Structure 1
Amino acid sequence: MCSYSSSPPPLTPSTSSNGGFHFTEYDSTTSHRSSPSSTGGGLQQTLTFEQVQRLSQIVSDPIAINAKEGNFPTLAISPAQLIKAVKKRLDSKDIDVTDVRLNGSAASYCIAEDRERSPALHYNDLDIIFMIQIKTKMDLHIIKEEVLNSLFDFFPEGTQTGRISSFMLEECYVKKMVKVSTVTDKWSLISLGDINGKNIELKFVDSMKRQYEFSIDSFQILLDPLLSFDDARSGEMSPVKLDANFYPRIQVTSLYGDFGEAIDHLNNRLISTKNPEGIRGGGLLKYCHLQVAGYTVADSAEIERQEPYMCSRFFIDFPSSNAQYGKIYKYVFSRYLQSQQPRKALEFLDVLLQVVGQHARCLMESERYKTISILCQIQSVISWQASFCQGPYFPSVLQQQHHPSSPTSTTIIHHHQPQWHTGHMHHHQYNRRGSDSGSSNSTSSSLPMIHFPHSTNNSLPVGPTPTPVR
C-alpha cells in the first residue's frame, strides 16, 4: 500500500510565480444569516423516522481525535458529546448559541434515498455549525479557548492536565483553524480529526454569505431536538426510547432555495449550483470531483455558462503557481490518495485539465500554460508512484503508513472583499491587485518532499521529471 504524503512535493522553479493577490473567504449576492424560523415554504422538511435513526447514529458514533505529536492520548469523542461540552462552556462565558446544525455531506447522507449511490456514503468530515451572536472582538478568541479546554473532558481518567495549556492542545490536536472577520462575514472554524482523514469541523457562525457549493451539499439539519431527546433518553428517572412511534421532530433546510429540486439533484446524482463566483475557489475542484464520481449536470447550458465563472474565482483565490499547486495537491490527497485511489486521482486531474483548458479565459495564455504544467506535474508524480507500488517493488513496500506531523494550519482574514471577473481578464488587471500574502515570498524549498514508499532494494527507479515551463 502506497504511503502518500499530505504535503505536496516541491514545485519545480520554472512553474513558480511571485505575482498574485489575497482575498477573503466567501462572497455572494445573497446572505444566509438565518435562524430556523427564517426558512420559508419549499426550503425545509421534517425528517422521517429512518432519517432520524441515521442522524442519531452519526452524532453518537465516536471519532478518534489523534494527537499529531508528543505523548498526548488519542481521544474517542462522539459529535454529540463534543457539542454538549462546547455549548456548556460557551454558556458559562455568556456566548449565546442560537442553534446547532449538521451541514454538508453528512447531512446529505442522512436524507439521501439511495445512499449506495450518494457520495455522502464516503463522507469524511462532520461539519457542525454553531449559530452564535458575536458581541465583541474577543468572542472568537474565547470560543477557540473554550473549544480547546473542552477536550480536557475527554482525557483518560487520572491524566494530569494541570500543566497542559490551550496552546499545547492546539498544536497537538487542531488540524486546521480559520477566523474570518469582515463587514459581512463573521465566523471561525476549528477542525479536529484522526490520521485517516475523518474530521469533526466546528464552525461558529455569526454571519456568512455562502454556506454551500452545490445543491447536493446545501442541506442543514437542526440538531437541538435530537440532543434534547438524547438527554431524556439517558435520564436515570425516566429514560426515553427512540422508536417509530416516538421520536423528535427534526427540520432539515436547503440553502439552495428549493428543497424539492435540491433533494431531486441529490437522489439522481445531478450537478447544479447558483452564483459559483460567490464560492471560495469557485467550486471548481468539487465540480470536477462530482464528474469523476459519476454525476451529470442538471442543466448543460447553465453549467457551461458557469464554468468560466468557476475558473475565474478559482484563479482569483489562488493566483500564484505555488498556491494553485498546494491547493490542488491537497485536494487530490484528501479525496483520493489518502484512500488509495490513484486512478481516480488521475481521472480527476484529466477532468480539471479539460475544464481549465477550455474555460479559463480569465488567464493569459502563458498563465494558463503554467497551470496546465502544474497539473501535469502532479499527474506524473502520482502515475509514477502508483506504478511503483504495483510493480516489482510492491512486495517490499512497508505496509505501515507514514504520517508526518505538521503544524496547525491557521488562516486569519480581516476586512478584505473578494473581487471576481470572468471573460477575458488581461494581465495588467491581474497584477494590479497586489500580491498574495503567501506567494510572493514562497519558494519551492518551502514545500516538503513527497514521502515515497521504502524498499529493501537500494536501486529505486527515478520518477519522471516534468517538462519545465519556459
Structure 2
Amino acid sequence: MAEAGGSGEGERCSLLTCEQVRRLQQVLTEEVPVHGRGNFPTLGVCLQAVVCAVRAGLQRRGVGVKDVRLNGSTASHVLVEDPAWSYKDLDLIFRLDLPQDAGFQTHEVGFGHQEAGFQPQEAGLHHQEAEFGHQEAGFQPQEAGFHHQEAGFHHQEAGFLPQEAGFGGQEAGFLPQEAGFGGQEAGFERVREAVLSALLDFLPSGVSRDKMSAVTLTEAYVQKLVKVSTETDRWSLISLRNRAGRNVELKFVERIRRQFEFSVDSFQIVLDPVLDPVLERGPGAAPAVVVESVYGDFAEALEHLRGRLIVTRRPEQIRGGGLLKFCRLLTRGFRPARPAETRALQRYMTSRFFIDFPRLPQQRRQLHAYLSGRFAGEESHRYAYLSVLRHVVAQSTVCLMGHERRQVLRLISLMALHALAEQSHVPDASSVTCYYQPAPYAQDARFCPYYCGQTPAWQPCS
C-alpha cells in the first residue's frame, strides 16, 4: 500500500513502497523492441536508457527538463499489479521549461490541411465537414446536456489530426518537414533532434550512421507525430513503433489542460530519483519515488483502481478517444462508481467521439487502429470489447440521425462478427457430423413416418 506523502505534498502525492519500486525498476530495465519499417533493423531499448539519452540531449540543446514521469496504464501497473491484463503503451512525460524564444508558435497550430499535404477531398471529406461543425456532424449540444462553450470545444484543440484519425504518414500525404517541424519552431526542433539523436545511439554497431538523416529516422521508427499549440495546450508527442502494440510514447509538455481521462489512469510517477546514479543517494539507500494523481486525490484514485471503479471529472473535456477507453475499462471488469450518472457520462463521450470523427470512414479507421494497438496479442478480447462498445453506442447516442446511427451500429456488428470468426476457429465442414433430435410425436407407436393416400376404386372401362 502506498505511504502517505509528507512535507506538504498534500493529497495529490504519495511515495512508492519497496515492492512498487521493484516493479518500477523492472519496467524501466525491460528491453522493448522498436521495430523499423522495411529493412531497417529492430532496436532493442529499455526505458531507462531512452529517458537518460533524451534528457541529456535536451539539456545539451538548452531545453530545460523539470522532471520525467511515467504515465498511463504502466504507472497503474506499478501501483497495483493485475496479472489478468497486461499494460500496453509505455507513456513517458517530459515536463519542459522552454526558453522564451524557443516556444511553440501559436500561429503554426497542429497539422493544417495545406501544411500536412492533406486534402479533405482525397479522404472523401469536404472542407466544411473537416471542420466538424455541430450541425454538419448531426450534433445538437442541447441534446447531450451541455453547450459547446461548457465543453471547451474548439476545432483547433480537438480538430482533425491525421494520426488520430488512423491515417498513416503516406496515406495523409504527411511529411514531417512540411508539417511545421522545420527550423521556424526552434522549441520542437530541438526536441525532435534530441529524440532522433538518441535513436542513432541505439542502432546496431554494423549499421552505417552517415546517411541516417532526420527524415530517414522519422520514416523508419516513428509511428506517430503530434503537435498541439493553443492558448491552453502546448505539447508534442513522438511515438516509437512496436508491432505488438507496446509503443514507446514520448510526450513533451510545456502546458496541458487535460492530463487524464479517468481516475484510474491519472497516476504519474516521477522517475528522476530512479535515474540518478547510486552515488548521489548513497549505496544501499532506496530511492524515494513520488507518485502523483492529477485527478486531485491520490487515496481516492488508488481506491478506484483497486476496486475497479470508473470515475472522472469534467467529462465534457474528454476527447473522442475517451469512449473507446471507457468501453475497454468495462471489458476489463471495471464499473461506474455512480450508476445513476452512467447514462449522462456515456452521452458526453459518444457525442464527443462523433464530433471528433463524424464520418464513417474515420470511425472505421479509428476502431481498427485502436483494436490493432490496444489488443495486440489479446485478440480473444476483441469480440467482448466490440459487444460492449455496440451496447454503449446503441444506448447513449443522441447526436446522430437515424441512418447514421444504423450505419455505425452495423459497422461495429460486422467488426464483432469478424473478431468472433477469428476467435472461434470454425472447422472444415467435411469433418463435422451433425446429429438431429427427432420430434416428440415420432416416439408414438402409432406414428407412421410414411403417408399413404386413399387409393380410388378401379372401375372397368365401358
TM-score (norm 1): 0.69
- Is 48-57 or 95-104 further displaced after alignment? 48-57
Do the aligned residues in 1 keep the contact of 2:245 with 2:374 (CA within 8 Å)?
A: no
Alignment CA distance shift 1:384-1:45 (3 Å): same
Question: In the aligned structure 1, how far is the partner of 2:96 from the partner of 2:345?
Answer: 33
1:96 aligns with 2:64: yes
State whether residues 282 and 312 of structure 1, in contact with CA within 8 Å, keep that contact through their aligned partners in structure 2: no
Match among 215, 218, 242 for residue 263 of structure 2: 215
Distance in 2, Cα, partners of 1:169 & 1:39: 44
Is residue 317 of structure 1 aligned with residue 337 of structure 2?
no
- Equivalence map 1:163-312=2 (5 Å): 163-228=211-276, 231-232=277-278, 240-241=283-284, 246-281=285-320, 283-312=322-351
Amino acid at match of 2:337: A
| 2:49 match | 81
CA apart distance, 1:158: 4.4
> Is residue 2:26 matched to residue 1:68?
no
Superposition deviation, residue 381 in structure 1 = 2.7
| 1:350 to 2:393 alignment | no
- Residue equivalent to 1:56: 25
In structure 2, C-alpha distance between the alignment counterparts of 1:161 and 1:41, rounded to whole Å: 49
Aligned 8 A contact 1:225 1:249 in 2: yes
Pairwise mapping of residues 302-451 of structure 1 onto structure 2 (< 5 A)? 302-336=341-375, 338-342=376-380, 344-387=381-424, 389-392=425-428
How many percent of aligned residue pairs carry the same amino acid? 40
Partner of 1:144: 192
Alpha carbons 1:277, 1:312 under 8 Å: kept: no
Contact 1:63–1:193, Cα closer than 8 Å, also in 2: no
Cα separation, partners in 2 of 1:294 and 1:148, compared to 1, 3 Å: same
Stretches of structure 1 lacking an aligned partner (at least 5 in a row): 1-35, 394-470
Maintained 8 Å contact 1:272/1:303? no
Distance 1:291 1:164, change over 3 A: same
In structure 2, distance between residues paired with 1:87 and 1:334: 27
Structure 1 match to 2:78: 110
Aligned partners of 1:47 and 1:252 also within 8 Å = yes
Q: Single out whichever of 370-379 and 210-219 deviates more from structure 2.
A: 370-379
Deviations 1:400-455 (A, max 9, x none): xxxxxxxxxxxxxxxxxxxxxxxxxxxxxxxxxxxxxxxxxxxxxxxxxxxxxxxx
- Equivalent residue of 2:38, what SS? coil
Q: Is the 8 A contact 2:244 2:373 kept in 1?
A: no
Distance 2:192 2:7 in 1: 28
- Mapped to 1, the partners of 2:371 and 2:426 lie a distance apart of 20
Q: Could you list the per-position Cα deviations for residues 60-95 of structure 1 after superposition, in whole angstroms to 9, with x for gaps in the alignment?
A: 11211111112x221111111111111111111101
Q: Aligned partners of 1:104, 1:385: CA distance in 2, in Å?
A: 29
Match runs of 1:6-45 below 5 Å: 41-45=10-14
Deviations 1:165-212 (A, max 9, x none): 111111111111111111211111111133222221100001111111
Provide closer, same or farther for how the CA distance between residues 326 and 282 of structure 1 changes in structure 2, counting only shifts above 3 A.
Answer: closer
Structure 2 unaligned spans of 5+: 104-184, 430-462
Using the alignment, how far apart are the partners of 1:116 and 1:379 within structure 2? 26
Contact preservation (8 Å) 1:129, 1:204: yes
Residues 165 and 38 of structure 1, relative CA distance in 2, 3 Å threshold = farther
For 2:394, the aligned partner's letter is: G
How much does 1:39 deviate? 8.9
Displacement of 1:296 in angstroms is 1.7
- 8 Å Cα contact 2:70/2:271 also seen in 1: yes
The answer to whether the 8 A contact 2:379-2:423 is kept is: no
Residue 167 (structure 2) pairs with residue 130 (structure 1): no
| Corresponding residue pairs, total | 342
Shift of 1:40: 5.4
The Cα shift of 1:317 comes to 0.9
Question: In structure 2, how many angstroms separate the alpha carbons of the residues matched to 1:55 and 1:352?
Answer: 32
Distance in 2 (CA, whole Å) between partners of 1:160 and 1:354 is 53
Structure 1 residues 220, 173: CA separation in 2 closer, same or farther (over 3 Å shift)?
same
Determine the C-alpha separation between the residues in 2 that align with 1:369 and 1:277.
25
Q: CA deviation at 1:282?
A: 5.5
User: Contact 2:245/2:372 (CA < 8 Å) preserved in 1?
Assistant: no
| Among 3, 16, 20, the residue aligned to 1:47 | 16
Alignment correspondent of 1:448? none
| Residue 162 (structure 1) aligned with residue 210 (structure 2) | yes
- SS of residue matched to 1:367: helix
Give 1:392's aligned amino acid.
D
| RMSD of aligned alpha carbons | 2.4
CA positional deviation for 1:380: 3.1
For the residues of structure 2 that align with 1:142 and 1:332, how far apart are their CA atoms? 33
Higher relative contact order (CA 8 A, sep 6+): 1
